[in-house]
Structure 1
């Protein structure tokens, strides 16, 4: 996934001299190809992320096409005010990349983990939020972002959880993408539960759906906008929508789904939001360890879902 991102920005810069990459003193190996071919379009703003977003806004107003890269704990969390006022308020076409989203920077502690980036951005107008799960979804996200039509945030989490899609995505922005079943599962006696997941949790959702029976899975590469009609259809087709994300349970994908389903009248699914509970990491360690600490490893999720579905029976 990181390679797909690196290739996309390098190709964009080679094709258009107005494409500029700004970094807050991060990502050097990731940008080797970019700097090799377009060194004059690479700007290291140093450890001054708020200033970096202001610079990007000024460049966008001057007709340039800025891509702002940082760790997700800094972009967007440290620079939220600048994203809101400098970029989104003025509707400037700036692309924000938040790398290492979730708890993948597990050994560096809570200061370098980002389980709130979706939540803090969802309420900002004019900003698209994308959360790819593999290289093909990253290609899809970058194709949208590099059109430079509006502000975009791309959430890049754990990049080596495995391939999900076999072919390129052609779905409209905002659509949920079926990755397991979902097409012909409406017959009587079919599955009562469907899984929705984003980012690193799509792979987990597929494993869990298989273990729990023949359950369909949708990947959600676009958090905002999200296809409300599609969500409504799923909420009326299934009894339970299980939403998985490497993000706080508050305000993320699960919150967006619950809000959409809550607005529906009549019979609708129960939304089971599974993610990081409203707490910081207590200990440091490997990514796998922190998944277990927060209860979002496959075994913990399986036990939680089985309990929730049993209680619903």
Structure 2
């Protein structure tokens, strides 16, 4: 997925010399192709993320289209005030990329993990929020951002989980959820980012479930969700983000008063990472291993059946 991001960025910069890449002194290997193809459009702002956002805002007001890259723990979390005041208040065409979202940087501890970035930005006016689940969704999101200038944030999680879609996504707009399967099954599993792969695995294990992707969380495709939710016995959301303020929250808000079936939020509970280890270990410690997710959903479905009886 990171390669797809690099390719999309190079293509955008070649097409438009006003596209600039700003980075906080990291991502060098990732941006080797960009620096080779567009050396004059690359700016290393150093380890000074708040200043980098101010620089991007100034460049945007001068007619440029800055792309600000950082770890999701720093962009947007460290620079939330600057995003709000310098960029969103002015409704400037600045795109923020938060790499390593979720618990990807497992060995580095909570300071380098970001499980609250969507929640932090959802309340800020003007900004769009994207969370692609594979390289094809990332390309579609990047193309959509280019076509629709304005403040935007795109989070990238674990990059090597594999594709969900079989090929490029044609004609997508942020007004749609993307069906992976849509057979009218009794359960609807909705994933965003790396949660899409979780949803797919859970559907394979449990059966009776359709899987759809939510690569855009703001503005959220409410009409598309309401149509897909009709007649479902259970809806489950999957995200590598806090269960508060992310996909689970926005789905609950959207369906409030309409949907009365079983609703399950799979994600990070209200806790920090208290342990260090590799990515798989951290996911397991947060109850997000395939086995733990399957167990959580089964328990919720069984509890619903018992209540009905």
The TM-score range, normalised by the shorter chain, is over 0.9
Q: Which residue of 1 aligns with 2:232?
A: 238
2-structure distance, mates of 1:147, 1:78:
28
| In 1, Cα distance between equivalents of 2:288 and 2:205 | 16
The 8 Å contact of residues 126 and 151 in structure 1, kept in 2 or not, is answered as yes
| Aligned length, in residue pairs | 304
Deviations 1:198-235 (A, max 9, x none): 11121121111121113100011111111111222233
Match of 2:92 in 1: 92
Report matched runs for 1:217-256 at 5 Å.
217-256=211-250
Q: Would the aligned equivalents of 1:119 and 1:251 in 2 still touch at CA under 8 Å?
A: yes
Structure 2, gaps ≥5 residues long: none
Aligned-pair Cα RMSD in Å? 1.1
Which digits, 9 at most, give the CA deviation of each residue in 1:19-61, with x for residues without a partner? 1100011100000011112111110111110010010000000
2:107 counterpart residue number: 107
Matches of residues 255-274 of structure 1 in structure 2 within 5 Å? 255-262=249-256, 264-265=257-258, 268-274=260-266
- Partners of 2:264 and 2:49 in 1: how far apart? 36
2:192 equivalent to 1:198: yes
| Rounded Cα–Cα distance in structure 2 between residues aligned with 1:56 and 1:9 | 16
The correspondence for 1:287, drawn from 279, 288, 300, is 279
- Corresponding position of 1:42: 42
Q: Does 1:22 align with 2:29?
A: no
- 1:44-85 CA deviation, whole Å, 9 max, x = no partner? 111110010010000000001100000000000000001111
Q: Deviations over 1:231-277 (max 9, x none)?
A: 22233321211001000111000000001111x34x53332111000
Q: Partner of 1:281: helix, strand, or coil?
A: coil
- Cα distance, 1:174 vs structure 2: 3.2
Equivalents in 1 of 2:153, 2:99: separation in Å?
11
Give the Cα–Cα distance (whole angstroms) in 1 for the partners of residues 175 and 44 of structure 2: 32
Report the Cα offset of residue 148 of structure 1: 5.3
* Counterpart Cα distance in 2 of 1:305 and 1:118: 23
CA distance, structure 1, for counterparts of residue 162 and residue 278 of structure 2: 18
2:186–2:208 Cα contact (<8 Å) kept: no
Question: Secondary structure of 1:133's match?
Answer: coil
Alignment of 1:176-191 (within 5 A): 176-180=177-181, 182=182, 184-185=183-184, 191=185
- TM-score, normalised relative to structure 2: 0.96
8 A contact 2:187–2:208 mirrored in 1: no
Q: Is the 8 A contact 1:174 1:223 kept in 2?
A: no
Deviations 1:120-175 (A, max 9, x none): 00111111100001110010011012235111100100011111111221222131
Choose from 289, 294, 306 the match for 1:302: 294
CA–CA distance in structure 2, aligned partners of residues 98 and 174 of structure 1: 22
Unaligned runs of 5+ in 1: 186-190
TM-score by length of 1: 0.95
How far residue 281 of structure 1 moved from its aligned partner, in angstroms, is 0.4
- Paired position in structure 1 for 2:204: 210
**Change in CA separation of 1:53 and 1:148 when aligned onto 2, cut-off 3 Å:** farther
